[in-house]
Amino acid sequence: MLEGLREAVRKFLGGGSTYKDSVEEFIRDLQRELIRADVNVALVKRLSDAIRQRALEQEPPPGVSRRDWFLKIVYEELVKVFGGEEPPSVEPRKVPWVILLVGVQGSGKTTTAGKLARFYSARGYRVGLVETDTYRPGALEQLRTLAQMSGALFYGEPAGRAEEIASRGVKELESRGAQVIIVDTAGRHGYGDEQALLDEMRRIADAVSPDEVALVVDAAIGQRAFDLARRFHEATPIGTIIVTKLDGTAKGGGVLSAVAATGARVKFVGTGEKVDELEPFDPQGFVSRIMGLGDIRSLLERVREAEAEERAVKVVEEDIEKGRVNMRTIYAQLKSIRRLGPLSRVLEMLPLSTLPVKVGDEQVKLGEEKINKWLHIIESMTYEELDDPDIIDRSRMRRIAVGSGTTVNDVKELLAYYKSVKAVVKRLKRDRSLLRRFGLQAGE
């Protein structure tokens, strides 16, 4: 599924063409792979337009190449298509937690019920399984066997109304201490005629008041999952989606994107036939795998750091312009100093001999060790101390030193640096001509 996307990424990183041409070529490759994976054509077009617009209009922060920045854009837009950044929590919000599994025949509901039992049993929950399917021969014994394999409690009846069996089963398992109760339902109707199935599903939901309704979808149906999920949701609110047989079809991208387009969340995906081959779905991890970006998190972290430093530069510039300096200013400046932060640019332009305080090279070009030490010190300060460092007396210095794993002398050194910066900024505030020399306007 989407195997060609990795090759498109490698080709893009290899360069050769201009950035704009490379972007267009990558988008064409992406479109081809997504359509091949049965992703809706209109969705592919919207995705392509969004990627193209961001790639050509947005500029990467300092220290990040345009090609790395482009891959970040592609990654973020694909994550949106496949469900968003935050996967749904797999943990029950209370006990007992009742999960109602619904879906059409052949989607793999009963097998999925057994896999869920194994999943939650492995996490330390006492699990119970209820079989309400009295139509399919062998359904009762299949789920009973799966319950034994996972050590789960079991309840089922060979005949009767599904909603009554479900109600009795949930009550029985709850009395036996089940913390997660999974109710399997019939799926005897095809994709074109689900009305009887939907009516039965609604009656079961009314009878057991489930905490979660999970629609089980076969990945092979591709983008048809959109209409299926919508129809089921109209009958009873679908909380989550479980996609089965994802490993056995090229249409996985289609089903995942179609489900996300309904507003529902994919919670689990089946990755094989074995009872333990069910895993929580993580859109970020999925996109990272199909793009072949095993180190995507380090790339994103690098971009985030660059963006944070860019914001820090703005903080320092605003403080200088307004003549305001506190430890928050120093913290921002220290974060950005490796990229020749605003203070460094200011000091290089000033006639230092005229300043009331001498600021030497050691203070301007702080070593890595000193920067890290000072950041730790600032992080150990209270909000009050951050806003007004002048209140820090010897008692506060000792507390800050202990909290940051440094010495009182280290804290004193930082405070001396703060005072020298404050003196420089005051000088700038008084002399508007100096501000104009590096493009700032004096605040009123």
pLDDT at position 40: 80
107 is known to lie in a ligand binding site: yes
4 is known to lie in a ligand binding site: no
Identify whether 88 is preceded by a cis peptide bond (ω within 30 of 0): no
Locus of tokens 């000088």: 427
105 is known to lie in a ligand binding site: yes
Question: Distance (Å, rounded) from C-alpha 316 to C-alpha 322?
Answer: 10
187 is known to lie in a ligand binding site: yes
pLDDT at position 342: 40
Residue 74 zone, left/alpha/beta (φ > 0; ψ -120 to 50; rest)? alpha
185 is known to lie in a ligand binding site: yes
Strands 212-218 and 240-244: parallel
pLDDT at position 82: 78
245 is known to lie in a ligand binding site: yes
Long-range contacts from 352-361, C-beta under 8 angstroms, 24+ separation: 355/423, 355/424, 355/427, 356/423, 356/427, 357/419, 357/420, 357/423, 357/424, 359/420, 359/424
pLDDT at position 309: 61
134 is known to lie in a ligand binding site: no
188 is known to lie in a ligand binding site: yes
111 is known to lie in a ligand binding site: no
249 is known to lie in a ligand binding site: no
pLDDT at position 271: 79
In 39-189, which residue ranges form alpha helices assigned H by DSSP?
Answer: 41-57, 66-81, 109-122, 139-150, 162-175
> 66-81 and 296-322 are packed helices; what angle lies between their axes, rounded to 10 degrees?
110
Amino acid at 210: P
pLDDT at position 340: 43
Question: Distance (Å, rounded) from C-alpha 145 to C-alpha 66?
Answer: 55
pLDDT at position 368: 62
Q: In the chain, what is the straight-line distance between the N-terminal and C-terminal CA atoms, in Å?
A: 61
Contact status, residue 194 vs residue 104, Cβ threshold 8 Å: yes
184 is known to lie in a ligand binding site: yes
345 is known to lie in a ligand binding site: no
pLDDT at position 440: 43
pLDDT at position 346: 41
| Pick from 51, 42, 54, 44: nearest CA to 2 | 44
Burial class (CB in 10 A: 0-12, 13-18, 19+), 134: middle
265: phi then psi, degrees, rounded to nearest 5: -120, 130
Domains in the chain, please, with CATH? 4-81 (1.20.120.140), 97-291 (3.40.50.300), 299-437 (1.10.260.30)
Question: Distance (Å, rounded) from C-alpha 101 to C-alpha 141?
Answer: 18
Could you tell me the mean pLDDT of each successive run of 10 residues in the chain, 444 residues long?
75 80 89 83 89 89 79 87 78 92 85 92 91 87 90 91 93 94 79 68 90 87 77 74 75 70 79 84 80 60 63 67 80 64 42 42 58 87 90 93 91 91 73 48 42
3-state secondary structure of 40: coil
pLDDT at position 348: 44
pLDDT at position 99: 95
106 is known to lie in a ligand binding site: yes
190 is known to lie in a ligand binding site: no
Locus of tokens 């060609």: 4
pLDDT at position 414: 92
3-state secondary structure of 115: helix
244 is known to lie in a ligand binding site: yes
